[in-house]
Structure 1
Amino acid sequence: MNGFLNALGQKLAERWLTLLVLPGALYLATATTAHTLGQAHALDYHRLTNHITHWAQAPAATTLGGQVVLLGAILAAAAAAGLAAQSLGTLVQRTALAVGWHTWPPPLRQWAHTRVARRRTRWATAQQRYRQQLDADARTLARDRRRADPRPRRAAHHALQRIAPEEPDRPTWSGDRIHAVTVRLERDHHLDLPLLWPPLWLTLPETTRTEITTAEQALTRATTLAGWALLYAPLTAWWWPAAPLTIALALTARYRLRSATDTYAQLLEAAVRLHATDLATQLGIAHTASADPNLGDALTHQLRTRTSGPPASGGTPPR
């Protein structure tokens, strides 16, 4: 038992150091450099080293007690910066996935509504072009008995996917990528994903749950990186070299967010399609070898919570 607790404590300490302290220490170093040099001496290396030497010679930094207090303060400040980045990352994730954008405050809700309308218009145009290309390729195959060049068709499909996999319903690509899973499962199999997912998760194999959890953690790390970008952005007002660092963090976070969202959505959809029949077996629902629409309707009926009506006359309500 002691060995398990020691291993757990060591693992938590490593995660605390990796996720909070080290990135936070880098942020504190950048913020200190920005405050010390400013815009006028942004690249003055000698000015920075002189200040560091002066601080190192201060009485508080030359005694053991002062060094312990200073180290503790730096660790606490670094951890606080890491927690702030994680909090901002959570906000970024909620904004990027935009699950409940209809309930956002009025200015944000209006912005999201306008953006969804524009994305739907763009998506409809791209879809029309893709359908026209499919029709042209079909006519070429019927007329010349040969397959048309697939590159225009692939380019039209790629342009459509860059907007959204299905008709846009959210203001962001990442939000629509997750929403597309719900749309496809409902359309193809009559599966209500929000209703189905909690009990399905309990029946998934351990390897499948591990893969989905890993993808979800990658999504969280990507949004946390965006949180760091938001923290670095104000430093550009004092020190211009923080600007390229902020831009690099933001672009990397955007790329990782899209990649992690796409991976998570693929795993989510694959898990439901592959294991919906396993859940049906657990619930005692007769089914065929595949998750057909009838099975989806049966699962929805079985899992949906039904609200009891008013008690009959003279009856006693359940306690």
Structure 2
Amino acid sequence: MNAFLTELGKNLATRWATALALPAALFVAVVVVAVALGPSHALDFNLLWTRVTTVSTGPALVWAAAVFLAATAVVGLAVTALGGVVIAAWGATGTGVGRPFVALRHRRWRRATAKADAAVKAALADRSDRRAKSNARRAVLRRNAISEIEPACPTWAGDRLLSVDDRVSRGTGLDLTTMWPRLWLVLPDAARTEVTTVQERCASAARTPVWGLAYLAVGVYWWPALVSGVWALLVSRRRIRRAVGVYADLVEASIDLYARDVANQLGFELTGRLTPAIGEQLTEVLQKRPR
């Protein structure tokens, strides 16, 4: 998971001009409007027009444009850095500050798992009972909405990435962190492009709660900004789950389709499927561990 989070962090630090220029400019514009109108004239657009026209000509316009562009750059860089903090929080462990969040998620997961197990047993006891089968499916989905594996991270996103590591390890015997850089070198261009695109979506999703909090901060002074802040925070959870879920699926699919290519290039000459026994041998070779 650390390798994947590192890749996401790199995508946060690149291409920010295209990804953040527009939202950063919009945020700076909202701040300008908030300062120009103040809380007592929050929606007085006639007053806004009057104050804007005072700097629409002459040297004042040049200085205003320069300050606006500089502020946009600063905001974009700040949101980039804070988005990296959000991504780092996905992979935090259950120690220190993250411990109570992991404990809370673990309790919820255990309760949901007990209900899912009971529902599945009831469905298996009477296979002709469609209602029991439907209840079992819903119970399993509710458990997986918390985490597909026993929670070890304070966030769903972290555990979702860990679940890929767990599934790959159990299914193929590979260590995903060790395998991924080698796999990346053999992926075809189309697969690389797809993974990179989803990485950028994850980075964008990680910035959504940052924008939400930023607008809420402005909303303390100028209440219309609260609407944007609340909306961004509400959609951030869904955006993060969707992007990270697709990213995890793509990583696992890349292993399924191309791990044999790495093995063959290292001399294993596989003609069948990659078994856990072969995967463990391949991991030993990649980690340069002595036998």
TM bin, normalised by shorter chain, reads 0.7 to 0.9
1:216 partnered with 2:210? no
Q: Is the 8 A contact 1:86 1:227 kept in 2?
A: no
1:89 partnered with 2:83? yes
Q: Is the 8 A contact 2:209 2:233 kept in 1?
A: yes
2:64 maps to: 70
Q: Is the 8 A contact 2:164 2:252 kept in 1?
A: yes
Cα gap change, 1:69 to 1:35, in 2 (>3 Å): closer
Query: How far does residue 186 in structure 1 lie from its aligned partner after superposition?
Result: 1.3
1:124 partnered with 2:123? no
- Identify which of 99, 121, 131 aligns with 1:113: 99
Post-superposition Cα deviations, 1:230-276, rounded to whole Å, max 9, x if no partner, equal 32222122111111111112222222111100000000111112221
1:140 partnered with 2:123? no
Distance 2:17 2:63 in 1: 18
2:230 maps to: 247
Distance 2:96 2:54 in 1: 53
Query: How far does residue 202 in structure 1 lie from its aligned partner after superposition?
Result: 0.8
The one-letter amino acid of 1:136's match is: A
Distance 1:72 1:243 in 2: 27
Query: How far does residue 171 in structure 1 lie from its aligned partner after superposition?
Result: 0.6
1:257 partnered with 2:243? no
Distance 1:292 1:182 in 2: 16
The sequence identity of aligned pairs, in percent, is: 35
Q: Which ranges of structure 2 fall in alignment gaps of 5 or more residues?
A: 1-14
Q: Which ranges of structure 1 fall in alignment gaps of 5 or more residues?
A: 1-14, 103-108, 308-319
* 1:40 match: secondary structure: helix
Q: Which moved more, 1:26-35 or 1:285-294?
A: 285-294
Q: CA RMSD in A?
A: 2.1
> How many residues are matched?
276
Give the alignment's TM-score, normalised by structure 1.
Answer: 0.80
Post-superposition Cα deviations, 1:85-113, rounded to whole Å, max 9, x if no partner, equal 11111111211x22x436xxxxxx43311
2:3 maps to: none
Larger CA Rg, structure 1 vs 2: 1
Q: Is the 8 A contact 1:21 1:75 kept in 2?
A: no
The one-letter amino acid of 1:271's match is: S
Q: Which moved more, 1:171-180 or 1:268-277?
A: 268-277
2:93 maps to: 101
Distance 2:87 2:272 in 1: 37
Query: How far does residue 288 in structure 1 lie from its aligned partner after superposition?
Result: 4.9
2:220 maps to: 237
Query: How far does residue 302 in structure 1 lie from its aligned partner after superposition?
Result: 0.8
Cα gap change, 1:71 to 1:33, in 2 (>3 Å): closer
Q: Is the 8 A contact 1:287 1:295 kept in 2?
A: no
